[in-house]
A and B are shown apart, each in its own frame.
Chain A
Amino acid sequence: MSEWVEACAADDVEEEDVIRFDHAGRTFAIYRSPDDEYFATDGLCTHEKVHLADGLVMDDIIECPKHNGRFNYKTGAAKGAPVCVNLRTYPVKLEAGMVMIQLD
């Protein structure tokens, strides 16, 4: 059953940045791209379980804070060593100034 969940206010995330969002025992990362679009992925790196929200956003890349593993946060694609497993992404929409993400 898919449901839309309110993750944060749109201005809680700065441009080209990321914040952490915890919900129902799971953790997610919410991104705002340099061209002002919002995206959501699983919150933990697929290399070791580290919160990506402590990492650095550059263009459409999130870089893990622990060992610099890189993912495209728009597609979830792992961009090479040390990460080889893709990140899961979630649909996002803006509603009344809030960022909503669709969970399954």
Chain B
Amino acid sequence: MDARGAVIVGAGECGARAAFALREEGYAGPTTLIGEETHLPYERPPLSKEGMASDASGLKLIADAAHFADAGIRLLLGSKVIAIDRAAKTVSFRSGSTIPYEMMLLATGARPRRLPLAEASGHCLYLRTQDEANAIASRFRQGAHVVIVGGGFIGLELAAAASRHGCTVSLLEAAPRLLARAVPPEIAEVIGNVHRSNGVDIRLGVSIAGFQDMDRGVEVHLAEGAPLRADFCIIGIGAVPNTELAQEAGLAVDNGIRVDGTLRTDDPYIFAAGDCCSFPLSIYGGRRVRLETWRNAQEQGTLAAKNMAGGNIEHAAVPWFWSDQYDRTLQIAGLPDEGTQTVRRDLADGAFLLFHLAGDGRLVAASGIGIGNAIARDIRLAEMLVARRAVPAAGSLASAAVKLKTLLAA
């Protein structure tokens, strides 16, 4: 049997970063990174961005095979862990083989939420992996009609990509507005307008009655009004965390694998991080959240590695997210729903920032949208203010003449 070492289940953003971070922390034991996908670990965000179909083979790798080899990280790709034996401290595969661990990280990520009504259709696609992105990109062509179900980030980014590839796009959202879960209405409105001006037919408050496959393509039946004909549909109605492995091993699951501030599960030898875990967010007094963001996957992978290597460090980062649609970039630092009032700052060329303040005046989040990276620097500075629990004057936040850097120095 192999020597006991660190085993990381899930070779995505979080798992791959954790593997390298273990080495950076000086962990010298055997380190095995296990991934169900056959590709080397790659970045997911480009999969839904506009460039997606221009270069389907252009997988953006987190690191190449030589980097993993140089760091002494054993990669087991195309291998799914099917069970954890916590008493024996091993993980097992369908083949019956097992790997022993001293410490384990669960970085199993999330998968698209399925739409039961669409299960019978052969023309409804989902997006999480490179292979799924290729399947979608190969159907993008001039004049194709695409129906996208879901007005969240994946649906909207794909709507932008599809329309840039000359497809006719309809986007159906059940809620009365886009991005209802995580984005302030002012910003969602800007995004909706950009899509409409690019010819995307956005329909809000729509409920779907069913999907019917035709000789070519599919018909989407709505609760009200005429059915929509499409060459294919993309379903983007959110993601569910991959918690089954943890649950079957008896670990607590609470909208994600439940961990404490150091990312430990209730088993001291097992950690969880990234999209699959729910954790207490210290900047909001321990509010339990599960994040589905790229930077969080990196930060938590790194933090878990530090703690696996003997540390005892609490998570303290501010959530951060971006999305690109057409020539716009949106960024959000913190969770805007923590705020009770909003202060707006207008910048050049239609860009703007929203500062979200708690009842006591504390800055708890900031969001913004603009062309290119117009808002990036200010969002980053706002993030630092949030991390410091700053209470900036609303007047200073509203005025573009006041540099945020000066508030930070205050």
Contact = CB atoms under 8 A, between A and B. Distances in A.
Interface of A: 16, 50-51, 54-56, 63, 65-68, 81-82, 84
Contact of B372 (A54, A67, A68, A84): A54
Interface string B299-338: 0001000000000000000001010000001000000000
Interface of B: 17, 20, 43, 62-63, 294-295, 298, 302, 320, 322, 329, 372-374, 376-377, 380-381, 405
B302 to A, nearest CB: 8
Contacts of B298: 81-82
Contact of A54 (B63, B302, B320, B377): B377
Contacts of A54: 372-374, 376-377
A50 B373 contact: yes
A66 B373 contact: yes
Nearest to B49: A48
A65 B295 contact: no
A76 to B, nearest CB: 20
Contacts of B377: 54-56, 65
Contacts of A68: 295, 320, 380
B380 A51 contact: no
A50 B62 CA distance: 18
B33 to A, nearest CB: 15
A67 B322 contact: yes
Contacts of B373: 50-51, 54-55, 65-66
Contact of A56 (B20, B62, B320, B380): B380
Contacts of B295: 67-68
Contacts of A81: 17, 20, 62, 298, 302
User: Closest 7 interchain pairs by CB?
Assistant: A65-B376, A65-B373, A54-B373, A56-B377, A56-B380, A81-B298, A81-B17
A66 B376 CA distance: 7
B222 to A, nearest CB: 38
Contacts of B376: 54-56, 65-66
B277 to A, nearest CB: 19
A99 to B, nearest CB: 21
A63 B378 CA distance: 12
Contacts of A50: 373
A96 to B, nearest CB: 29
Contact of A66 (B322, B374, B405): B322
Contacts of B62: 81
A66 B320 CA distance: 12
A50 B376 CA distance: 12
Contacts of A56: 376-377, 380-381
A2 to B, nearest CB: 31
The residue in A54, A63, A81 that gathers the most chain B C-beta atoms within 10 A of its C-beta is: A81
A64 B303 CA distance: 22
B110 to A, nearest CB: 20
A80 to B, nearest CB: 9
Contacts of A82: 43, 298
B78 to A, nearest CB: 24
A43 to B, nearest CB: 13
Contact of A67 (B20, B63, B294): B294
A46 B23 CA distance: 23
A63 B384 CA distance: 13
Nearest to B380: A56
A68 B318 CA distance: 13
A68 B293 CA distance: 13
Nearest to B43: A82
15 contacts: A50-B373, A54-B372, A54-B374, A56-B380, A63-B380, A66-B329, A66-B373, A66-B376, A67-B294, A68-B295, A68-B320, A81-B17, A81-B20, A81-B62, A82-B43
Contacts of B20: 81
Nearest to B381: A56
B178 to A, nearest CB: 23
Contacts of B329: 66
B294 A84 contact: no
Contacts of B294: 67
A62 to B, nearest CB: 11
A84 to B, nearest CB: 7
B160 to A, nearest CB: 17
Contacts of A65: 373, 376-377, 380
A81 B299 CA distance: 10
B271 to A, nearest CB: 18
Contacts of B374: 54
A47 B20 CA distance: 18
Contacts of A16: 405
